[in-house]
Amino acid sequence: MTTKAERTTAFIIKTVAPVFNKYGYMGTSMSDLTEATGLTKGALYGNFENKEALALAAYEFSINRLFEAIDERLNVEGSSLEKLFSLTKFYRNYDVFTRDMGGCPVLNVGVDARHNNAQLSAAARETIKIIEGKIALVLEEGVKNNELRLPVTPLQFAKQLYTMLQGAIAMSTMSGDRKYLMNTVAYLEVLVQKEIKK
């Protein structure tokens, strides 16, 4: 059973995660955090050493939600091709999935923290590597099972695929037009069918 302190910490992280994600580390003030949680500054710092520790915990909370969703899509029953299409189907509605998170945590934190928070920036880079690795494992399995043929290594193809997805997310976010995401996902599905399916 969790203690009251553990429940409070979990509540704080869950509540402030979308605030940090939406406004960024520098753009989020302590008053934003106290307003969101209904707690005092002292109560927040009673649970976290400083703002940076709270921001990192909030990022990890959001990223774990994303990892769970990606794992769920990549672990479906079926061929590697079906797993890839399960992932692209998820990304087709990625903006909906991330709406209550304050947007895409990989994009938002990755860009925001690049020049103002080394720890968060490193966490975002690690997230990218992990997601690319998850996709690469599916591709590797597809090659091994003679379902896919790749012009490059599985990891290199995974990097290109994820780059296109994240680029579409960035364009969709900046323009407010989800067609960037929808059209890129549709293109990726055709590419997978025509170029790498055996």
Beta bridge partners of 197: 148
When pLDDT is cut at 50, 70 and 90, the band that residue 115 belongs to is very high
If we measure between CA atoms, which residue out of 77, 84, 20 comes closest to residue 51?
20
Structural domains in the chain? 4-196 (1.10.357.10)
Contacts for 79-84 with beta carbons within 8 Å, 24 or more apart? Answer: 79/142, 79/145, 79/147, 80/138, 80/139, 80/141, 80/142, 80/145, 80/147, 80/148, 81/142, 81/147, 81/148, 81/192, 81/197, 83/138, 84/135, 84/138, 84/139, 84/142, 84/192
Q: What is the per-residue pLDDT for 118?
A: 94
Report CA Rg, the chain: 19
Residue 90 to residue 84: CA distance in whole angstroms: 10
pLDDT in tens, 55-110: 999 999 999 999 999 999 999 999 999 999 999 999 999 999 999 999 999 999 99
Q: List for the chain the helix, strand, coil content (%; round to 5).
A: 80, 0, 20
When pLDDT is cut at 50, 70 and 90, the band that residue 111 belongs to is very high
- Token pair 């479906």 is found at 76
Average pLDDT over all residues of the chain: 95
Q: What is the per-residue pLDDT for 45?
A: 87
Q: What is the per-residue pLDDT for 2?
A: 80
Q: What is the per-residue pLDDT for 21?
A: 96
Residue 152 to residue 157: CA distance in whole angstroms: 6
- Token pair 């059209």 is found at 183
C-alpha dist (Å) from residue 56 to 17, 86, 133, 138: 9, 29, 22, 29
Is residue 1 scored above 80 in pLDDT? no
Residue 4 to residue 125: CA distance in whole angstroms: 34
Is residue 46 scored above 90 in pLDDT? no
pTM greater than the 0.85 cutoff: yes
How many residues are listed for the chain in this entry? 198
